[in-house]
Each structure stands twice: as C-alpha cells, then as structure tokens.
Amino acid sequence: MLVDTFGRKIEYIRISVTKQCNFRCQYCMPDTPEDFLDSSMIPLDKTLEFLKIAINEGIKKIRITGGEPLLRDDLSDFISSLRAYSPSVELALTTNGFFLKKYAKILKDSGLDRLNVSLDTLKENRLKLISKRDALPNVLEGLQEAKKVGLPIKINMVPLKGVNDDEVLDMLEFCLENGFILRYIEFMENSHANSSLKGLNEREILALISQKYTLSPIEKQTIGPAKSFRLENGGVFGIIAPHNDDFCKSCNRIRLTSEGTICPCLYYQEAVSAREAILSGDITAMKEALKLSVHNKPEKNQWDNEQNQHSARAFYYTGG
C-alpha cells in the first residue's frame, strides 16, 4: 500500500507515454516546433515492468496520456500486457481524438476500460484556432466509432474567455445527446501556454449553465478531481477546479513522464528520477523511487496566480 505523509492512499498513476503531439493547443504547447521529437521516451516494455511493481504496491488505476498517446504504434500491445497482468486494474486513456476512428476498436479489444477525449469546441474554425489543426471532422468521427465499440467516454473542455466560453451550454447538450459525460476543466496557467489566455472558473461556468438549467451538486462517492452536478433532466456533468482550496485534500495521484520521472503533483516542481532504474530493470531501485515520490507528495499544489507562481513544467511533459 502506498500512503503519503498526509494519510492519502495513492492508488492512481498517470503515465505519459510520449511528449509528442500532433496538436499545438494554445493552453499547452502552442510554440513547440512542428518537428519536435521525444527522443528520450522509455520503451513501453520497460515502463510495463515499472507499472507491474506499482500495481503490486497498490495502484488500482492507470491513465495513459501524452502528448498524444496514440502516436505510439505499440500502445495496444502495452495495454494488452497491462490487462493480462492485472484483470482488475482500471485502464483509461486521454486523447485528442484525432486518431480515434482508426484505433477505437483496437483499444477496446486490448482491454481499455474508458476514454477521455479533449474537445474544446464544436466549431471547425475555432478548433483550428485553438489547436492549429483542421481536426474537428476526425475527432467527431472518432467519438462515434468509440461509442459504437462500447467505450465509455468523457469529454474534457477547457472554457476560455473570448475563445469558446459561448459554447459552454452547446458542449453540455452535445454530450447529453450522445451519452458522453462532459467535464469542464479550469484553465491551468503554465509558462508554456499562450500568455493572453484567461479561463472561466467554476463559479462562472455554473452561472452560465444555471441560465438554462436547474442543477444540484452530487455528493462524491469516489476519490477524484472532479466535482459532479446533476441537471433537473437527469443529465450529469463535472468540473475540475484545481484553483479551489479543497482540490488537493483527496488527491490520490502521482505521474510518470515518458522519460521516467515520477512527479508527485502537476503543480509541484520537485520530482524523482526513476529513469535509470526502469531502463536497467532494477526492481529494488524502481520500488524505492516509487515510494520516495509518494513520500515527497506535497499537501497541496504550488499554484498561486496572485504571486504568479505557475507550472514551469510543460503539461505535455507530465501528461496533463
């Protein structure tokens, strides 16, 4: 069992399998060169051995992220191996959805449990503005294919003032119509994002939805970052609000980067390198690095907008 110094049981690890992405989203990596390559990626068979140790130590949920994880052509074999090792571990994946039409059935057959798809707009030109890619038709087709093969889907939307804040309700209704669960994510300031961006906070998002719907909060049944709300028509949505004081109280997550660094918190610069241990297959050293990262997990993140303390580590590096 992995328990940090504040009594939180760590049961969830997010792993970035690559820093590479085919999008250049304004809130993540807008200025990253188009020819950027993740030359330090750890082979997935080596990552698998680390995750086996993590599962043995009490990890119950693994989320695969990037960058864009579907750029790894060996990803389905990796998922199959994880599923074979632990039939009970929850396996999820976060993607921008661009390649989803091609891979949805393969992911389902490999043993993936669920998907999160990042989608900030239903307008084609607007998605071009946000991601610098003509991607909306691909993403929508991918969503329908994933739905067809039976993968449960959550949609992640980052509402930005003057960019897509007029689609808060449109996105909610799109998800309700398609059986997806929408999660609004407050924009997380970081030094790699477009500095002119301003996000909507939880209060502002709820105010927009309340203009049309009556809603009520749902008491948390499980540990997780999202606050859930129910509409009078039975629809459900969530908000992830990392700027709130209570966001970190129940955090049960650590993160592994594609190059083998274990980050105890998205908004916390200190980290533990497990790279050499993973590459060499040193079981004792991998276990020590895992336990040290849990021990180092801070009580709360270091985000402070008033003091201009933002994440200096890129989200495509840590896995968002």
What angle (nearest 5°) sits at the alpha carbon of residue 69, between those of residues 123 and 286?
145
CA distances from 286 to 66, 69, 197, 258 (A): 22, 23, 39, 15
Tell me: is residue 248 an annotated ligand-binding position: yes
DSSP 32: S
Report the 10 Å Cβ neighbour count for 247: 18
How many residues in the chain? 320
Tell me: is residue 63 an annotated ligand-binding position: yes
Q: Write out the E strands in the chain.
A: 12-16, 61-65, 90-95, 114-118, 153-157, 181-185, 215-218, 226-231, 236-240, 253-256, 261-263, 272-273
Nearest to 67 by CA among 104, 110, 130, 15: 15
Tell me: is residue 251 an annotated ligand-binding position: yes
Tell me: is residue 8 an annotated ligand-binding position: no
Tell me: is residue 154 an annotated ligand-binding position: yes
d(CA 236, CA 229): 6
Name 270's Cβ contacts closer than 8 Å, sequence gap at least 6: 264, 296
d(CA 144, CA 167): 20
Query: Read out DSSP for 120-150?
Result: --S-HHHHHHHHSS--HHHHHHHHHHHHHHT
DSSP 73: T
Tell me: is residue 67 an annotated ligand-binding position: yes
d(CA 218, CA 114): 21
Tell me: is residue 263 an annotated ligand-binding position: no
Tell me: is residue 21 an annotated ligand-binding position: yes
Tell me: is residue 184 an annotated ligand-binding position: no
d(CA 251, CA 267): 12
Tell me: is residue 28 an annotated ligand-binding position: yes
Known binding residues for [4Fe-4S] cluster are 21, 25, 28, 248, 251, 265
Instruction: Point out the annotated binding site for GTP.
Output: 14, 63, 94, 154, 253-255
Q: Which positions make up the binding site for S-adenosyl-L-methionine?
A: 27, 67, 118, 188
Per the annotation, binding residues are 14, 21, 25, 27-28, 63, 67, 94, 118, 154, 188, 248, 251, 253-255, 265
